[in-house]
Amino acid sequence: MDALHTSDPTTSAASAAAASPQTTGAPDIQALNARISEKSQFVDAIRAEMGRTIVGQAGMVDRLLIGLLANGHVLLEGVPGLAKTLAIKSLSDTVAGDFSRVQFTPDLLPADVVGTLIYNQQSQQFTVKKGPIFANFVLADEINRAPAKVQSALLEAMQERQVTIGGESHALPQPFLVLATQNPVEQEGTYPLPEAQVDRFLLKVVIGYPTKDEERSIVRANLQQDGLPKPQQVVSQQDILEARELVRSIYMDEKVERYIVDLVFATRNPEDCGLGHLKNLISFGASPRASIGLGIASKAHAFLKHRGFVTPEDVRAVAMDVMRHRIGTTFEAEAEHISSEQILTELMDHVQVP
């Protein structure tokens, strides 16, 4: 397993390309590395700018960047007060994007999210009043508190990148990122997302508490006279759209592709990798959408590391967030208090790494 940690972000892209076995036979990999290394520098600028308001939570910030670069959406689960709202607002400030926040409640209607038709008495015509979904960064706060119709309206907009109001389709702005949050406590009176709908999210990220040192820094920053600084724009929306194209051009060796497929198939047939005892704990395995998600998220992770090629380390770094919400656990697993994270950890430890 030590071989997985040989890639150093400080190493030049060209030398990394020459040393990596994954790049063998790749067309002009050194030129690609140099280009990715140059074009990905804004990532560090975003991290630094967000670091002015977000203390710790580096994993959450990176997952938001992966979602943005991979053109996917992120589901965050964590108790209130862990800077989920502040993180996506800070990210929108660094890109100078439009930000909207929707507090999901049981009485919310689909029109409150996507918009509706308003009748104008003077012109005697219906005009479109666009909802908060028409923004670059949309925070769907406590998505599991809204009824199924509202959830499906949001998820349809996420998938189709457009909204139909009064028979007319309206394209959503680009870039477009939805960050939905779920509260793991207080499940009374909530509407949990069905498995088929939660599968629409590229990543499901579980947020933990900060360390003692981080919490002291949080308290100190929030008690300043001037309050928290407002993040400044460090990159344009056009740069983000161009970076998405670059992410897809990152080289992925066939061995890494096979590793991704092996991981996904292990969730469906754990007995094939010598883990037959997991068969009764998994009700259904990950879908092909997980394989696609692992591929694009791994490329985005390589982009964050300023590399033009994907390593197995990139796959392992994002595998838990891509697949934890895409496998189902049986009643037997629940009775034994075995989570999908525990199952995935055991699978990743046993699937052979190239």
pLDDT tens-place string over residues 7-42? 443 333 333 443 344 444 445 788 888 888 888 889
Q: Looking at the 3D structure of the chain, how many domains does it have?
A: 2
In a domain, 16, yes or no: yes
Among candidates 226, 183, 214, 209, which has minimal Cα distance to 54? 214
CATH number at residue 300: 1.10.8.80
Give the pLDDT score at 321. 94
Residue 270 lies in domain: 1-39+250-354
In a domain, 255, yes or no: yes
User: Is 310 exposed, middle or buried (CB count within 10 Å of its CB: 0-12, 13-18, 19+)?
Assistant: buried
Residues 261 and 226 in one domain: no
Residues 66 and 165 in one domain: yes
Give the pLDDT score at 3. 39
Give the pLDDT score at 11. 39
Residues 139 and 258 in one domain: no
In a domain, 244, yes or no: no
CATH number at residue 163: 3.40.50.300
Name the band, by pLDDT with cuts 50, 70 and 90, for residue 293: very high
Task: Report yes or no: 202 and 73 within 8 Å, Cβ to Cβ.
Answer: yes
Residues 198 and 110 in one domain: yes
The β-bridge relationship of strands 74-77 and 203-206 is parallel
Name the band, by pLDDT with cuts 50, 70 and 90, for residue 60: confident
Residues 150 and 201 in one domain: yes
Residues 4 and 90 in one domain: no
Residues 97 and 201 in one domain: yes
Look at residues 184, 205, 236 and tell me which one is the last residue of a structural domain.
Answer: 236
Beta strands in the chain (DSSP E): 74-77, 99-103, 115-120, 125-130, 137-141, 162-165, 168-171, 177-182, 203-206, 282-284, 328-329
Residues 256 and 166 in one domain: no
The whole-number average pLDDT for the span 281-294 is: 91
Give residue 140's Cα distance to chain centre: 14
CB atoms within 10 A of CB 121: 6
In whole angstroms, give the CA distance from residue 249 to residue 251.
6
The β-bridge relationship of strands 99-103 and 137-141 is parallel
- Tokens for 181, please give them: 């949050």
- Tokens for 314, please give them: 């990139």
Instruction: Tell me how far CA of residue 13 lies from CA of 34, 248, 306, in angstroms.
Output: 6, 17, 7
Among candidates 207, 100, 198, which has minimal Cα distance to 143? 198
- Tokens for 214, please give them: 């981080």
Q: What share of the chain is helix, strand, coil (3-state, %, to 5)?
A: 50, 15, 35
Name the band, by pLDDT with cuts 50, 70 and 90, for residue 277: confident
- Tokens for 336, please give them: 């034994």
Residues 194 and 179 in one domain: yes
For the chain, what's the residue count? 354
Name the band, by pLDDT with cuts 50, 70 and 90, for residue 65: very high
Residues 60 and 106 in one domain: yes
Percent of the chain with pLDDT over 70: 90
Look at residues 171, 201, 236 and tell me which one is the last residue of a structural domain.
Answer: 236
Instruction: Report the SS3 class of residue 336.
Output: coil
Residues 267 and 214 in one domain: no
Residues 290 and 340 in one domain: yes
- Tokens for 324, please give them: 């934890």
Give the pLDDT score at 27. 56
Residue with tokens 């080289």: 251
Res. 232: pLDDT tops 70? yes
Look at residues 187, 204, 236 and tell me which one is the last residue of a structural domain.
Answer: 236
In a domain, 150, yes or no: yes
